[in-house]
Structure 1
């Protein structure tokens, strides 16, 4: 945070400070955020279903579908950012520390998806047990909050570095 504050005081990054390949990566991952936002919308709907009607026969399939979308879309996106985008940003931002809070969010997202997986492994008969609901809700709403915050931070801190692209649409 201190590095970002100092960067802001000195005027932040200018377009010429961001290499073309890094601008390409920024545009690519900013575009991928729409798919992550789609998963996020479904995540919130699933959490609301569990909160309002945990005995519904639709509940467990919805949680499983949400978990599938998280593991097939969100986790690969976050891992790819970690491998490609964040190292490319280290030089323009002045250090790897500038991406450390975002990396920590990736770890937390992965941890919560793993927790959701463990919770799903405890369901055998096709329905949620009443004693599972509180923990499952904490995980689902926790994931919703962490993902929303993380997307907003990336869009504000990183994707705004490419002045040739308009800010990503937010829902």
Structure 2
């Protein structure tokens, strides 16, 4: 947190040399956030459905679809950021530690997604059991909160602060 605060005072990526390849990565992952925000909206809708109508016939299929999107879209995006984007940001941000808070969020996103998957495995062909609901809802709403915060932090700390490339005419 202190490192992020110091970066914020220093202008983040503003005024720092951002190599063209890093800029390309920033643009790529920023573009992907639209799709991740769609999954986030579906996640919140699914959580609301589980909270209000856990016995509804559409509840378990909606939960399965949300989990499929988490594992098929969100987690691969987060893993790719970890492998490609965050190492590329080390030099412009001054150290690899500058992305450690974001890396920790990736771990939490994975952990909560896995918890949802475990509840689906327990439910089998359904319906959801009453004794699952409290923990499942905590995982769903918790993941929605962590993912929303994480996306916002990346957009503010990394994507919006990347200076335009003068050669692009932006």
Q: For 1:109-148, list aligned pairs within 5 A.
A: 109-148=109-148
Structure 2: tracts of 5 or more residues without a match: 166-170
Instruction: State the SS of the aligned residue for 1:83.
Output: helix
Q: TM-score, normalised by structure 1?
A: 0.91
SS in 2 for 1:55: coil
Change (3 A) 1:122 1:11: closer
Alignment size in residue pairs: 165
C-alpha separation between the residues in 2 aligned to 1:50 and 1:146? 19
- Correspondence for 1:57: 57
Residue equivalent to 1:68: 68
Runs of 4+ aligned residues of structure 1 deviating over 6 Å after TM superposition are none
Give the Cα separation in 2 of the matches to 1:151 and 1:162.
Answer: 16
Conserved in 1, the CA contact under 8 Å of 2:13 and 2:162? Answer: no
- In structure 2, the residue matched to 1:159 is 159
- Farther-moved stretch of structure 1 (22-31 vs 8-17): 8-17
Say yes or no: does 1:21 pair with 2:50.
no
Instruction: Give the TM-score of the pair, scaled to structure 2.
Output: 0.91
1:130 deviates by: 1.4
| Unaligned stretches of 5+ residues in structure 1 | 166-171
Distance 1:106 1:161, change over 3 A: same
Aligned-residue CA RMSD (Å): 1.6
Distance 1:77 1:50 in 2: 26
Aligned partner of 2:168 in structure 1 is none
Q: Is the 8 A contact 2:14 2:161 kept in 1?
A: yes
C-alpha distance in 1 between matches for 2:43 and 2:11: 38
Counterpart in 2 of 1:37?
37
Secondary structure of the 2:57 match is: coil
Secondary structure (helix, strand or coil) at the match of 1:158 reads: helix
